[in-house]
Amino acid sequence: MKEARILITGASGCVGQYTCNWLLKNTEAKLLLWIRDPKKLSSINHDDQRVKLLVGDIRNPEVFSNEIANATHVIHTATAWGGVERATQVNVIAVKKLLSLLKPNTLQRFIYFSTASILDKDLNPLPEALRYGTEYIQTKAKCLQDLENHPLSNKIIAVFPTLVFGGQFDSSGMFPSSYLTQGLKEATKWLWLARWFKGLSKFHFIHAEDIAFVCGQLLISELKPRSSKAVNKIPKFVLGQPSLSIDQAINALLKWKTMNRYISLPLWGWIIECLVTILPIKITQWDRFSIKQRHFVHDPITNPKDFGGTSYAQSINEILLYSGLPKGKKSYKQVIYPKK
Position 24: which residue type? L
Q: 34, 54 in Cβ contact below 8 A?
A: yes
HSE, side-chain direction, 13 A CA sphere, residue 78: 28
Contacts of 116 (CB under 8 A, 6+ apart): 160, 161, 162, 204, 238, 239, 240, 296, 298
Structurally, the chain folds into a number of domains equal to: 2
98 and 232 share one domain: yes
Which pLDDT value is given to residue 117?
Answer: 95
Which CATH number is 58's domain given? 3.40.50.720
> From CA 56, how far away is CA 68, in angstroms rounded?
13
Of 79, 45, 48, 52, give the one whose Cα is nearest residue 68.
Answer: 52
For residues 191 and 249, membership in a common domain is answered with yes
- Which pLDDT score, from 0 to 100, does residue 227 have? 56
Residues 268 and 211 in one domain: no
pTM for the full model?
0.92
- Residue 332, domain member (yes or no): no
- Other residues' Cβ atoms within 10 Å of the Cβ of residue 31: 23
Question: Are both 220 and 273 inside the same structural domain?
Answer: no
Quick one: pLDDT at residue 48? 95
CB-CB contact of 62 with 32 (8 Å): no
Inter-CA distances, 89 with 77, 93, 112, Å: 15, 5, 16
Give per-residue pLDDT as tens, 100-135.
Answer: 999 999 999 999 999 999 999 999 999 999 999 999
Q: Are residues 214 and 291 in the same domain?
A: no
11 and 23 fall within a common domain? yes
Report if residue 333 sits inside a domain. Answer: no
CB 166 within 8 A of CB 141: no
**Domain identity same for 65 and 87:** yes
User: How many whole angstroms separate alpha carbon 337 and alpha carbon 159?
Assistant: 62
Structure confidence by residue, pLDDT tens digits, 9-45: 999 999 999 999 999 999 999 999 999 999 999 999 9
Say how many C-beta atoms besides its own lie within 10 A of residue 190's C-beta: 12
256 plus 113 within the same structural domain: no
Q: 159 is in which domain, residue-wise?
A: 5-166+205-239
Residue 91 per-residue DSSP state: I
Give yes or no: residues 235 and 279 share one domain: no
Residues 252 and 274 grouped into a single domain: yes
Closest CA to 141 of 111, 119, 112: 119
258 part of a folded domain? yes
Please give the average pLDDT of every successive group of 10 residues along the chain, which has 340 residues.
91 98 97 97 95 97 97 98 93 98 97 97 95 95 96 95 98 96 94 87 96 96 64 87 95 94 75 70 78 86 96 98 91 45
The pLDDT value given to residue 193: 87
pLDDT reported for residue 333: 44
Give the 3-state secondary structure of residue 28.
coil
Using DSSP, state whether 129 is helix, strand or coil.
helix
Identify the helix (H) or strand (E) that includes residue 112.
Answer: strand 109-113
Examine the domain organization and report whether 210 and 285 are in the same domain.
Answer: no
